[in-house]
Amino acid sequence: MTEAETKKSMHRGLKWSLIGAGAITVILIIALIVVNAYINRSLPETEGAVQVNEFVGEEAYTTLSDNVEITRDEHGVPHINAETDEDLFFAQGYVTAQDRLFQMEMSRRQASGRLSEVVGDMALNQDKYFRTLGLRRAAEKSLSEYDDETMQSLEAYAAGVNAYIKQAEEENRMPVEFTLMGLDDVREWTPLDSLTIGKYMAYDLGGHWERQAFNYHLIHEYPEDVAYELFPTYPEDALTNIADEEYVDVTSSLSKAPMPPEFNGSNNWVVSGDKTESGKPLLADDPHLGLATPSIWYQVTLDSPNYQTSGVIFAGVPGVILGQNDNIAWGVTNVGPDVQQLYLEKRHEDDPHQFLYDGDYYEADVITETIHVDGQESIDYDVIETKHGPVISEFAEPVEAQEDGTVMSVDWTALEATKELSAVLQMNRASNWDEFETALEDFHAPAQNFVFADKDGTIAYKANGRIPIYDNPDHALLPMPGWDSQYDLTETIPYDELPKLVNPEKGFAGTANNKIISDVYPYHISHVWAQPYRYTRIHEYLSERDNLTTEDMKALQMDTLNLQAREFVPMFTDILANADLSETESSALDLLANWNYEDKRELGAPLVFDQTRSAIEDVLFIEAFSEDMLSMFRGCGQTVDVMLRKAYDGESMHWIEEQDGLDSVITEAFKQAVATIEDDFGSDVSQWQWGDYHQVYFEHPLSSTAFLDVFYNPIEPQPVDGSPVTVMAASHGEEGVVDHGASWRFVTDMADPLVGDHIVGPGQVGHFRSEWYDDQIDNWVEGNYHSTHLTDIEGETLELMAE
């Protein structure tokens, strides 16, 4: 080939290469345009009109009877205005599905034990647990207890959800998550789905049996005096005789149970008009739950003949569970009572479905649950329910392994028929304390601390819920014998005798999952309360101030004073003053000694204290207990604080003496903490910052898949103030990622009950292309609230047309 021919050939090859590259580019651009258009099609409609009855099936309970307006304000909060209550809840179901359908779908699957259908066997163990526990079965029991009015609300809400599902399917506008998860056929929404989600929230806030299981392990492995040091209270008459029974290995199955975060709780308080600038009550609430995308809360305003209500609710449930109406406001924290009781059950040696009870054997209920697993054959899974509740000690074991011997069941108030939604709808309509308190009679699980304010000046507090009566409170520390009826929990604390305050003399009431009763209260509520630091700080702040405003309430919700550090840092510095420390360790100790106890992101001392406090638990327990067993040590932090106080006061504590005494424990923990920080952030102590480690990340469930984090979590983790023990609650995992805290912040002044200030992190809408997807992350970090008005709303309006 001549040189000219070679050049011509190369030119021709380059030409075709460029043409090929151009074609590929065009194809990619077209593909991106198509995908982009497909994704954007599922964005919620916020303007215009929809003939929504076209999408209501013949089997639906109701259709829209009149037009409904849904106006979204600048923060994406829908304000629903309807001529009838049924139309109101129909529209609430429709708009919630617009914004959160994928979340609703995954929530009902999780609570019902049906995640394996879409994610495969990675969720099988979790599904088995929730099938065993039976949240959906409990919801089904509750369904039959509701009155016609509540059922109409549930049915109307479900009809609205299903209208949106049908519209989205017909118009090819289903959220892209359904395609990514291979969910081609979405089942219709039912009232049972809404109630099952409600039962899941009772589960998320009702943990107690895990600590009983841990205590049970202790008394089998250690002498009584050694075991009792780790009990939340020193029992005088605990059931240690159960150590003589056949031992149930609590690590083999129970440690595999999905456990809600320890002390899922909140802060709330209400202040009398005598202490406020406006002369009317102020109310504040910030529930502490898991932080994720989208938020667990859905903010909404409801307006119809019987409702003028604003606040938040779980996506998938009608009404407003926390918030205000035109007369009152209310908020909650978790009581954390002993409402879950483990029982040891003796099986018949020849029949694993028969159990001993008062000298005779009875036949337990056997429920066969079929679990469909994506990509595999379905599994038939037998759930055994004794007189006390489901057997949970073997949920992770194959059926053939469930033979004779001793097993554990759980008795839990939330597995009974309860009517929380009826209470919620009554609360939404209440206009004064008497009506509100009457509504609370139907709110049984989870047990909650309610604070209340009305525009006439009344403030009140009530601990609410169905709480068992223990003849001997120490029995709540350990599993009880299921074969003896004298240990059955047959009564609950009478409603009129639950803790209550109305217009207290001190001018305020509040809770932070702290102990709410004195020693003279006649009933046992709990052995394990949250550490007192948050409530003590709230009490200090409110006691010291008058002429309080909503800005003061917001400042208190964002308060970062660490009272645990204020107590223990002097102890640490006293002990470490005589320790042999390296230059880096000495500099770190100086940080602690000169700290103002504020958990601010730019400071280094909070990092040193946090890591030291964590290392103390490692020094004491890491060799004594497996990781699985430690996961059941609920209230570990509280127990360790008590041990440190006693040891510093000179009392001999076995677990501390085993590590050569308090000085050795503190010194070793401090050295471990400094070494860890130095490895991660270098040896220049002046550059250490709490915010380099302590960062909030509202993780979307799909963001861990391949490249999807670019779309679902586009914002990098944000350095953030606070800690697990500050009023600005911000709890972190092992890597420092803050994944638990104030899932919603709310403040209102009853001088104008038609306005409330809110933060819902990370945002209101679950679609990642929405402007309201993560627009509140910075606000959550900085404490910037948005005001929501119950009337005179401006924004984009979508009209749901009846004809």
CATH of the domain at 532: 3.60.20.10
317 exposure class (CB count in 10 Å sphere: 0-12, 13-18, 19+): buried
Residues 320 and 455 in one domain: yes
Q: Are 562 and 609 in contact (CB under 8 A)?
A: yes
pLDDT at residue 109 in the model: 97
Residues 524 and 632 in one domain: no
Q: Are 751 and 766 in contact (CB under 8 A)?
A: no
Q: Are 524 and 477 in contact (CB under 8 A)?
A: no
pLDDT at residue 262 in the model: 66
Q: Are 530 and 262 in contact (CB under 8 A)?
A: no
The token duo for 356 is: 């001993």
736-747 burial: b if 16+ Cβ within 10 Å, else e? bbbbbbbbbbbb
Q: Are 698 and 762 in contact (CB under 8 A)?
A: yes
The token duo for 327 is: 């007369």
CA distance 60 to 755: 36
Asked if residue 231 is part of any domain, the answer here is: no
Where the chain has pLDDT below 50, the residues are 18, 26-34, 399-402
Of 409, 419, 366, 372, the C-alpha closest to 388 is 409
Asked if residue 292 is part of any domain, the answer here is: yes
What phi and psi values does residue 493 have, to the nearest 5 degrees? -60, 125
Residues 6+ apart with CB under 8 A from 77: 299, 300, 301, 764, 788
Which of 671, 688, 705 is a domain's end point? 688
pLDDT at residue 28 in the model: 43
Q: Are 610 and 592 in contact (CB under 8 A)?
A: no
Q: Strand, helix or coil at 456?
A: coil
Residues 523 and 583 in one domain: no
Identify the H or E element spanning 268: strand 265-271
CA distance 39 to 43: 7
Asked if residue 643 is part of any domain, the answer here is: yes
Residues 525 and 674 in one domain: no
pLDDT at residue 3 in the model: 58
Which of 634, 667, 688 is a domain's end point? 688
CA distance 79 to 311: 11
Residues 446 and 518 in one domain: yes
Q: Are 109 and 186 in contact (CB under 8 A)?
A: no
Residues 544 and 567 in one domain: no
Residues 6+ apart with CB under 8 A from 446: 201, 202, 204, 205, 206, 334, 335, 339, 414, 465
The token duo for 391 is: 């057997």
Residues 517 and 482 in one domain: yes
Asked if residue 257 is part of any domain, the answer here is: no
Residues 513 and 627 in one domain: no
**Domain region containing 676:** 563-597+604-688
218-243 burial: b if 16+ Cβ within 10 Å, else e? bbbebeeeebbbbbbeebeebbbebe
Q: Strand, helix or coil at 504?
A: coil
pLDDT in tens, 575-619: 999 999 999 999 999 999 999 999 999 999 999 999 999 999 999
CA distance 172 to 170: 6
Residues 314 and 441 in one domain: yes
Q: Which pairs with CB-CB distance under 8 Å and at least 24 residues apart come from 212-215?
A: 212/340, 212/341, 212/342, 212/476, 212/477, 212/478, 212/479, 213/250, 213/254, 213/342, 213/408, 213/479, 213/632, 214/250, 214/629, 214/632, 214/633, 214/634, 215/477, 215/478
Residues 517 and 638 in one domain: no
User: Residues 10, 14, 16, 20: what is their CA dihedral angle, to the nearest 10 degrees?
Assistant: 150
Residues 299 and 426 in one domain: yes
What phi and psi values does residue 93 have, to the nearest 5 degrees? -65, -40
Asked if residue 149 is part of any domain, the answer here is: no
Asked if residue 255 is part of any domain, the answer here is: no
Count structural domains, the chain: 2
- Tokens 């004064």 — which residue? 432
pLDDT at residue 390 in the model: 97
Asked if residue 208 is part of any domain, the answer here is: no
Which of 655, 688, 721 is a domain's end point? 688
Of 581, 612, 602, 572, the C-alpha closest to 686 is 602
Residues 447 and 578 in one domain: no
Q: Strand, helix or coil at 323?
A: strand
CA distance 710 to 695: 18
- Tokens 């309509």 — which residue? 429
CA distance 232 to 304: 49
524-536 burial: b if 16+ Cβ within 10 Å, else e? bbbbbbbbbbbbb
- The Cα diameter of the chain in Å comes to 108
Residues 6+ apart with CB under 8 A from 425: 149, 150, 153, 318, 319
pLDDT at residue 136 in the model: 97
Asked if residue 235 is part of any domain, the answer here is: no
pLDDT in tens, 537-573: 999 999 999 999 999 999 999 999 999 999 999 999 9
- Tokens 């163990």 — which residue? 125
CA-to-CA separations, 607 to 611, 621, 732, in angstroms, rounded: 6, 21, 12
pLDDT at residue 460 in the model: 98
pLDDT at residue 238 in the model: 58
Indicate if the alpha-carbon torsion angle 709, 715, 718, 722 is positive or negative. negative
pLDDT at residue 32 in the model: 43
Length of the chain: 803
